[in-house]
């Protein structure tokens, strides 16, 4: 019999909220931010760029689910029919992104959305979310093989930024489910070691 001690990462309780819109009329757009902010579709599926956006936006709020993906797995996600990534730029610098994940029966998931920390609190997030949700609703116009969008949904959690839920509600999303999950405690990885030291 071994005397070795097995340790596991401590668990923390995370609340997950699921929100949806069921009509384009549900969208309540935010005002455009002051200054030169543009939102552009990243039309070439590029894992290097998407992984940069994912780590830069999610590094301080514990986005970890995609960190272990291979290059081929990233390509598979980005090359799904109808998948789109829209990027906000301020003065030519990426400020954040929104990723649209098409599903069956006309549903589109906002798979990921957020801003790089340096750009938070400057009214860019509401504008980017508004723009991205509008693109979710008109997705079939750019992808004729898809049926028209009938539902746009997303989930957010208690680990996300403090203004995330308010932004979603202000844009016209409605809560349709809430769950509590136990997740391993992980340190925020940051976009690179020591980035937030």
For 91-134, the pLDDT digits (tens) are 999 999 999 999 989 999 999 999 999 999 899 999 999 999 99
Q: Distance (Å, rounded) from C-alpha 130 to C-alpha 104? A: 23
Mean pLDDT value across residues 137-141: 97
Q: Are 112 and 57 in contact (CB under 8 A)?
A: yes
Q: 29-62, pLDDT tens digit by residue? A: 999 898 899 999 999 999 999 999 999 999 888 7
Residue 90's pLDDT is 96
pLDDT at residue 196 greater than cutoff 80: no
Residue 10's pLDDT is 73
CATH of segment(s) 11-184? 3.40.630.30
Q: In sequence order, which residues have a C-beta less than 8 Å from that of residue 143 and are 6 or more positions away?
A: 81, 82, 102
Q: Are 9 and 186 in contact (CB under 8 A)?
A: yes
pLDDT at residue 4 greater than cutoff 60: no
Average pLDDT, the chain: 88
pTM: 0.87
- For residue 21, name the pLDDT band (cuts at 50, 70, 90): very high
Q: Are 28 and 189 in contact (CB under 8 A)?
A: no
The token pair that represents 55 in the structure block: 């780590």
- For residue 3, name the pLDDT band (cuts at 50, 70, 90): very low
């Amino acid at each position: 019999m071994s005397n070795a001690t097995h340790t596991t990462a401590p668990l923390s309780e995370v609340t997950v909220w699921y929100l949806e819109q069921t009509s384009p009329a549900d969208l309540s757009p935010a005002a455009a931010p002051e200054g030169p902010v543009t939102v552009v579709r990243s039309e070439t599926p590029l894992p290097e760029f998407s992984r940069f956006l994912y780590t830069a936006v999610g590094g301080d709020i514990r986005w970890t689910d995609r960190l272990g993906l291979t290059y081929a797995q990233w390509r598979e996600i980005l090359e799904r029919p109808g998948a789109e990534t829209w990027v906000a730029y301020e003065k030519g610098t990426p400020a954040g992104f929104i990723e649209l994940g098409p599903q069956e029966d006309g549903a589109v998931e906002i798979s990921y959305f957020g801003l790089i920390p340096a750009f938070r609190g400057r009214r860019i997030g509401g504008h980017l979310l508004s723009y991205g949700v509008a693109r979710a609703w008109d997705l079939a116009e750019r992808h004729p093989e898809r049926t028209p969008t009938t539902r746009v949904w997303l989930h957010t959690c208690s680990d996300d930024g403090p203004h995330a839920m308010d932004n979603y509600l202000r844009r016209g999303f409605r809560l349709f489910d809430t769950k509590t999950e136990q997740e391993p405690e992980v340190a925020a990885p940051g976009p690179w070691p020591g980035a937030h030291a």
